[in-house]
Chains A and B, each alone.
Chain A
Amino acid sequence: MGLLEVSDLTVTYRTAGGEVPAVRGVSFALEAGQKLGLAGESGCGKSTMALALLRLLPKTAGYTGEIRFDGEDILTMSWGRLRAVRWAGASIVFQGAMHSLNAVQRIGAQIAEPIRLHSKATEAEIRRKTGELLEHVGLPARRADAYPHELSGGQRQRVMIAMALACDPQLIVADEPTTALDVMIQAQILTLIESLVAEQGISLLMISHDLSVLADTCDRLAVMYAGRIVEEGPAAAVFGAARHPYGAALAAAFPRIGDPASRRRPQGLAGDPPDPADLPSGCAFHPRCAVRLDHCAAVDPSLWPVAGEDRQAACVRVLPDEGLSLVAKESA
Chain B
Amino acid sequence: MSEAILSAEDVRVEFEARRGGGRARAVDGVNLDIAPGEIVALVGESGCGKTTLARTLLGLERPTSGRVLHRGTPLEYSSRALKRFRRDVQLVLQDPSGSLNPRHTVYDAVAEGLRIHGDVPNERERVADALSRAGLRPPERFFLRFPHELSGGQRQRVVIAGALVLEPNVIVADEPVASLDASVRGEILALLLRLRDELGLAALVVTHDLGLAWNIADRVAVMYLGRIVETGPVEKILTAPEHPYTQALLSVLPDAPGSPVVLQGEPPDPTRIPSGCRFHLRCPVLASGAAAAAGVDGACRGSDPGVLTGGTVTQVACHYAAQVTVR
Q: Contacts A216-B254, A257-B256: A268 and B45 contacting too (C-beta < 8 A)?
A: no
Distance, CA A186 to CA B187, complexed state (A): 25
A255:B211 contact, CB within 8 angstroms:
yes
Q: Which of B181, B234, B249, B256 has the most CB of A within 10 A?
A: B181
> How many of B's residues come within 8 Å of A, CB to CB?
41
* Whole-angstrom distance between the Cβ of A59 and the nearest chain B Cβ: 25
Instruction: Give the contacting residue for A268; candidates B152, B186, B254, B264; CB below 8 A.
Output: B186
B262:A212 contact, CB within 8 angstroms:
no
B249:A184 contact, CB within 8 angstroms:
yes
Q: Contacts A154-B266, A262-B215, A266-B190: A257 and B239 contacting too (C-beta < 8 A)?
A: yes
Distance, CA A173 to CA B73, complexed state (A): 55
Q: Contacts A186-B252, A256-B255: A264 and B183 contacting too (C-beta < 8 A)?
A: no
A250:B182 contact, CB within 8 angstroms:
yes
Q: Does A199 interact with chain B (Cβ within 8 Å)? A: no
The A-contacting residues of B in range 183-203, CB under 8 angstroms, are 183-190, 193
Instruction: Give the contacting residue for A266; candidates B193, B248, B256, B264; CB below 8 A.
Output: B193
Q: Does A279 interact with chain B (Cβ within 8 Å)? A: no
Distance, CA A183 to CA B183, complexed state (A): 20
Distance, CA A209 to CA B177, complexed state (A): 13
Convert B244-266 into 0s and 1s, putting 1 for each residue whose CB lies closer than 8 angstroms to a CB of A. 00001110111110001011101
Q: Which residues of chain A are near B215, meaning CB under 8 Å?
A: 255, 262-266
Distance, CA A239 to CA B210, complexed state (A): 19
Q: Which residues of chain A are near B260, meaning CB under 8 Å?
A: 187, 191
Q: Which residues of chain B are near A246, meaning CB under 8 Å?
A: 183
Q: Which residues of chain B are near A212, meaning CB under 8 Å?
A: 253-255
Convert B136-158 into 0s and 1s, putting 1 for each residue whose CB lies closer than 8 angstroms to a CB of A. 00000000000000011110000
Q: Which residues of chain B are near A155, meaning CB under 8 Å?
A: 266
> How many of A's residues come within 8 Å of B, CB to CB?
43
Q: Does A13 interact with chain B (Cβ within 8 Å)? A: no
Residues of A within 8 A of B (CB): 41-42, 152, 154-155, 182-188, 191, 209-213, 215-216, 239, 246, 249-250, 252-258, 262-270, 272-273, 288
Residues of B within 8 A of A (CB): 45-46, 151-154, 181-190, 193, 208, 210-211, 214-216, 234-235, 238-239, 248-250, 252-256, 260, 262-264, 266-267
**What are 21 of the A-B contact pairs (CB < 8 Å)?**
A41-B183, A182-B46, A183-B45, A184-B263, A184-B267, A185-B45, A187-B260, A191-B260, A210-B254, A212-B255, A246-B183, A253-B182, A255-B211, A255-B215, A263-B235, A264-B193, A269-B186, A269-B187, A272-B151, A272-B152, A272-B153
